[in-house]
Amino acid sequence: MKRNLRTCYGLLLVASALLFACTPPRETSREACTVADVSDGDSFRCTNNQRVRLLLLDAPEMDQAPFGTQSRNALRARMPRGSTVWLEFDVQREDRYGRTLAYAYTEAVGGEQINLAQARDGWAVAVVFPPNVRDIDDVRRAVATARRDRVGLWRDGAFTCEPIAHKQGKC
């Protein structure tokens, strides 16, 4: 009898492990946003007044002329006023300023990730605020490629004073 029980428990453990391994990944939540305005190269506002900060990016501040304006214009070209973008979330959905933290996509399924495009084209650098780290390796690779190829703001030396250092008054 004890042997049969051990066998049953063993089979239950194996079955549980298989069920866990076959469980589909958690659904990624997405929501639509109609773009009202682009504030700078890493943030924008939706028509419902939701303020959105693109995850893993840091773009020049608007007072870092002319780089802040150039970065903002690149984001405006990707997501013009009135266009629909899809927001996808990581672990933490809001920052301490009440802004929505998101990856933005040009289309609901299979669209270009705007965060990666801004990094790849040299309009922003990578910045990490855990726990939102899902795509950090991709963003870092995109920034490294932009820097190597001297595209976007890398062409003009904009990142000799990175945005975070500028905010801290270091340069």
- Could you give the domains of the chain? 30-167 (2.40.50.90)
User: 71-93, pLDDT tens digit by residue?
Assistant: 999 999 999 999 999 999 999 99
User: 18-64, pLDDT tens digit by residue?
Assistant: 333 333 444 567 899 999 999 999 999 999 999 999 999 999 999 99
pLDDT over 50 at 70, yes or no: yes
Tokens of 109: 């399924």
| Phi, psi of 143, rounded to the nearest 5 degrees | -65, -45
Sign of CA dihedral 133, 32, 152, 95: negative
Let me know: does 55 contact 101? Beta carbons within 8 Å. Answer: yes
Of 71, 100, 107, nearest in space to 86 by CA = 107
User: 130-147, pLDDT tens digit by residue?
Assistant: 999 999 999 999 999 999
Q: What's the pTM value of the predicted model, to 2 decimals?
A: 0.81
In terms of C-beta distances under 8 Å and separation of at least 24 residues, what long-range contacts does 59-64 make, across chains too?
59/118, 59/123, 59/124, 59/125, 59/163, 60/153, 60/158, 60/163, 60/166, 61/163, 61/166, 61/167, 64/158, 64/161, 64/163, 64/166
